[in-house]
Amino acid sequence: MTAAQGVLLRPITMGLLLQSLFLLLLVLLGSCLHPAAAFPKGCYPSEEEGLKTFRCSNAQLTEVPRDIPNDTNKLYLDFNQIPFLPRDAFRDLPLLLELDLSHNAIARIETGAFQGLAEHLHSLDLSSNRLVSVSKDAFSNLKAKVNLSNNPWLCDCRLQELIRAVELVAESSGGIVCDSSTQEEHVGKAFLQVIADTDLCNVYKRTTDIAMLVTMFGWFAMVISYLVYYVRQNQEDARRHLEYLKSLPSKQRRSEESSTISTVV
C-alpha cells in the first residue's frame, strides 16, 4: 500500500470507528432508559430500608399499572382513581410484602385479585375507598393484615363472614362503620360492636326460614283451595245431573242414574 492510499483510507477508518461508537452509545442509552420510559407518569422505583419500592402515589391512575418490576417488595398505589381490582391484578409480583391501595375509588374486588400474594404479602391497605360489600373469597388464603376502615360498608352477613376471614390491622377495626345495614338501628355504629351483640348470619337465616315457611304455607293454601273448589264443583255437577235424570221417563232415568252413580264413585 502506498503512502497516498494510506492517507485516503485513514478518514474512512476513523468514520467507521466513530459510527460504531455512536451506535454502541445509543444501545447503552436505550437499555438504561427503556425501563423508566415504560413506567406510567408519576411512578418511579426506589429503595427504602433495603426493600425495592415502587411508588405511584397521586399519579391519577385509573387502573393497576402494568410493567411494575416483578422484584418489587413495597407497592404504593394510594391517592389515585382506581375503581376496581380485576382478577390476577398482582400475579406478577411474587415478592410483594406491602400493598397500599388506600384513598382510591375501589368499589369492586374480583375473586382472585390477590392471587399469587398469599405466601409473602403481610400488609394490605384498602382504607378510604368505596367498598360496600365484598365476598370473603376475594381474600382467600391471604395472610396479610388488612385495613378496611373508612369505606361505606353495608353491614350484613356477607361483611360478617369477610371480617372473620381476614386479619384486621388492630388500630383500624374501629373505622369499619355501618353506612347502611339490614337493620336500621345498626347504621352509624362500628361493625365490631354490632356483631358483638348480634349474629347477622343467624338473623339472615331466620328471616330466610320465615320467608320460606310463608311461601310454603301460601302454596299449601292454594292447593287446598283448589281441591275444595274441585270437589264442590263436581258435587254441583252431579246434583244438576241427578235433577235432570228425575225429569226423564222412569226406564231411561234408572239407566242414567246407574251410569251417574258409577261415574261419581
Q: pLDDT means per 10 residues in the chain (265 residues)?
A: 48 55 50 55 93 97 93 97 96 95 98 91 98 95 95 96 94 95 92 90 55 51 63 67 63 54 45
pLDDT given at position 118: 82
Residue whose entry in the numeric block shows the C-alpha cell 391517592: 79
Beta strands in the chain (DSSP E): 44-48, 51-55, 74-76, 84-85, 98-100, 108-109, 123-125, 145-147, 153-155, 167-168, 178-181
Architecture per CATH, domain 39-197, reads as: Alpha-Beta Horseshoe (3.80)
pTM of the predicted structure, to 2 decimals = 0.65
Residues near 145 by beta carbon (within 8 Å), at least 6 away in sequence: 122, 123, 124, 167, 168, 169
CA distances, 106 to each of 82, 134, 138, 233, 260 (Å): 6, 11, 14, 63, 75
First to last CA, the chain: 133
Q: CA 259, CA 254: separation in Å to the nearest integer? A: 9
Residues near 264 by beta carbon (within 8 Å), at least 6 away in sequence: 234, 238
The three three-digit cell numbers of residue 51, written as one number: 426493600
Longest CA–CA separation in the chain, Å? 153
